[in-house]
A and B are shown apart, each in its own frame.
Chain A
């Protein structure tokens, strides 16, 4: 069966510090991978998606970046965090078509 992992589960970082959130998927090959952010009281916002290794599409301009160094690994990064980067970050995967997405447990990021 397929599983999706995210870490860390929670993170408190000062403004201006770097960020690296990791997401890995097990039990499937060549998944579509997604990073979402959910700010307090707001809906899910798609940040990045990837259809393959090294292929990243950005949905919104921001100070975040994503990388996919391996087929089942998706990393969300920032060189300098902003206060507005606080939120709940979710990684998800789906099959080749835009079908059901399966979400990871999420990382709650607080930038102080």
Chain B
């Protein structure tokens, strides 16, 4: 069993839709990260969470430590949001999910 599970693996949405990507984990963590990997491969860190909720523009990330679950929400999705979104954990070591590939269609 993987320490980090993301769902869905692939997601296609129409422009303007509200999008949710989920991350569940099974290990103790000090922080959870959401990363965005662009089609060219470059990775950008979106959020680092240890509790509660964070918002940046149209992106919202939440974490429930008791349930070991985090969600990344994108409001009013846009084609430029198309990317792979990766959930990553820091605890005793780093753990990475395999990513959710998001395609937003105009």
Binding site for B on A (CB under 8 A): 34, 38, 42-46, 59, 88, 90, 92, 98-103, 105-106, 108
Q: Nearest Cβ distance between residue B3 and chain A, in whole angstroms?
A: 11
Contact A43 B30 (CB under 8 A): no
Please, which residues of chain B bring their CB within 8 A of the CB of A108? 41
Q: With A43-B96, A44-B88 as given contacts, are A103 and B43 in contact (CB-CB < 8 Å)?
A: yes
Q: Are A43 and B45 in contact (CB under 8 A)?
A: no
* Among candidates B42, B86, B90, B93, residue contacting A44 with C-beta atoms closer than 8 Å: B86
Which residue of chain A is the closest to B45 with respect to CB atoms? A100
Chain A residues near B97 (CB, 8 Å)?
43
User: Considering the complex of A and B, which 5 residue pairs feature the smallest CB-CB distances, nearest first?
Assistant: A103-B43, A43-B98, A44-B96, A98-B90, A106-B41
For the complex, what is the distance from the CA of A43 to the CA of B87, rounded to whole Å?
A: 10
Instruction: Say yes or no: B88 contacts A98, CB within 8 Å.
Output: no
The residues of B that contact A92 with a CB separation of less than 8 Å are 43
Given A42-B98, A43-B98, A44-B96; A90-B86 close (CB under 8 Å): no
Known contacts A43-B86, A43-B98, A101-B45: A59-B33 contact under CB 8 Å: no
By size class, the interface of chain B is 20 to 34
**CB within 8 Å: A-B pair count:** 45
Cβ distance B38 to chain A, nearest Cβ, rounded Å = 10
CA distance A98 to B99 in the complex (A): 21
The main secondary structure of chain A at its interface with chain B is strand
Instruction: Answer yes or no: B76 CB below 8 A from chain A CBs.
Output: no
28 A/B residue pairs, CB under 8 Å, sorted by A:
A34-B94, A42-B98, A43-B86, A43-B96, A43-B97, A43-B98, A43-B99, A44-B88, A44-B96, A46-B94, A46-B96, A59-B93, A90-B41, A98-B30, A98-B31, A99-B48, A100-B33, A100-B45, A100-B48, A101-B45, A103-B35, A103-B42, A103-B45, A105-B40, A106-B41, A106-B42, A106-B43, A108-B41
Instruction: Please give the residue numbers on chain B whose beta carbons come within 8 Å of chain A beta carbons, in ascending order.
Output: 30-31, 33, 35, 40-45, 48, 86, 88, 90, 93-94, 96-99
